[in-house]
Amino acid sequence: MKFLKIFLLAGLLSACTHDFSETNTNENSPTNVTPDLLLSGVIRNMMNQQVNSAWGIGNIVAQHHAKIQFVNEDRYLWGEQNGTWDAVYNNYRNLQNIFTAVGTDSTNPYLGVALVLKSWMFAQVTDAYGDVPFSQAGRAKLEGIYQPEYDKQEDIYAGILKDLKLANTVLAKATPNLEGDVLYGGGANAIAKWRKLANTLRLRYLLRLSKQKDVSTEMAGIVADPATYPVFTGNEDNAELKYLSAAPNQWPMYTARVGSFDEFRVSKTLVDRLTALGDTRLKVFGRPTQKSVAEGNPVIAGIPNGLSDADALNYNGGVQSVSRVGYTFACLVCNDIGQAPPDPAAPRALLMTYAELQFTLAEARERNMINTGDAATYYANGITANFNYWKSIVPSQYGIDVTMPANYLTQAAVAYTGSQAEKLAKIALQKWIAYYFNGLEAWFDWRRTGMPEIVPGPSNLNNGKVPVRFIYPQKEQSLNGTNRTKAVERQGADDQNTRPWIAK
């Protein structure tokens, strides 16, 4: 009898333990996620942030767009702009999980891809804020560092360039088992494109660094050795997220309220500059005003940046006489009468383009920072590539002809002639056009060169100054106050007019 009692008790305990384990395991909350799933989430989140940051502030400060109501951003009353900060640090946690999963396997493609994404993400946040957590970022889970130090921007850039160089080496020998890649599609061909992106981004950041350091040797070394350091060779290499027609992977603005969408209009700066050049890309970036269409004489008309609320709403006789943002970037209910419905898969989220690379090389060659190639050829290649890019993505049903005019490259305002200063100004203008809807990149590049000119609007609230950085998130004062204070003491006042190191 005693044996039977013990047997029954053992069985009962075994059953209870089994039931307890099953009951307390949440199968919908995994403790480990494979790198492919992590990768797709990071790419999607960060590329959507590119769209959101361009829409909310990047296109405004670069004067591609302007606002007709709720005009604080356009008048430089910015306050906190935390989207970039939150996106980078939230998504970096998943990159850290990829690094942990990969370990020391230097042939793993996820290592190389993660290094490229890490570099691009931290370039975004340091370019926007200056000194930020970098070397100790993302180390809370494994090392218990909950209050990371803010690294100097100079050191962050050194780390970015080092990681991109390492990414090129890793991807050169990586095995082709790359999945979850929603940017390039995965597989061996995608690995080659990620490798090109690593080296192309190095050139972007080296040029940005050139205001502070002599980067000629590094730039020349990349350009002169394409076998070791392959870079983009055409629009097919563009790092862009292609959206789908079905939710939830549609163009982020597609579900916007019409009122929120229509606050943003085409800037008069963009319209005037492209009209003067006879530039057909203007028909992609803006649409004819509703009043001019009704009158049978369609005209694209922009609005000046930096107007007061009342002046913006009444400019040119009212909002019916100011152009909305182009059809390609429309929301579901933002199409005009008689216009084909907007295609939610037409626009793209941009990270890096072949056109930008060509303008980077044109400037570097003109400044004798590289000795390979011809500046005029790079410049013409960049213009042609950007025209071809927009021509390729605008849906045919929109009836928009983006063909480059036959005399476009030879007209005086475009032809690669004049003094060095004039040539650099022409490169900057065309690069500014090609940066349309590419996050904050047009602002970052303007901050480096001062070209093309950005004139604050008449009702600006920043003493006639164009902001040059974002202020730190206020939550950092309570969550990481000591390290934030050290960064401010080192960098300068925490306001939007304090130039970060790289732009001084």
Per-residue pLDDT tens for 187-228?
999 999 999 999 999 999 999 999 999 999 999 999 999 999
User: What is the three-state SS of 198-236?
Assistant: HHHHHHHHHHHHCCCCCCHHHHHHHHHCCCCCCCCCCHH
> Could you report the per-residue pLDDT of 362-371, keeping only the tens digit for each?
999 999 999 9
CB-facing half-sphere around the CA of 469: CA atoms within 13 A: 26
Residue 117, token pair as written in the block: 């994404």
- State the DSSP string of 394-428: S-GGG----PPPTTGGGSTTTSS-S-HHHHHHHHH
Dist CA 344 CA 245 (whole Å): 5
pLDDT at 445: 98
Rounded CA gap, 300 and 271, in Å?
A: 7
Cis peptide before 452 (omega within 30 of 0): yes
| Other Cβ atoms within 10 Å of 179 Cβ, number | 16
Q: Which domains does the chain have, with CATH numbers?
A: 35-252+346-503 (1.25.40.390), 253-329 (no CATH)
CB-based burial of residue 7 (10 Å sphere; 0-12 exposed, 13-18 middle, 19+ buried)? exposed
14: pLDDT strictly greater than 90 = no
Structure tokens at 213: 């350091």
SS3 267: strand
pLDDT tens readout for residues 94-125: 999 999 999 989 999 999 999 999 999 999 99
Predicted TM-score of the model (pTM)? 0.93
DSSP assignment letter at 472: P
Task: Residue 122: name the closest of 97, 155, 73, 170 by CA.
Answer: 155
Percent of the chain with pLDDT over 70: 94
> What angle (nearest 5°) sits at the alpha carbon of residue 246, between those of residues 241 and 251?
40
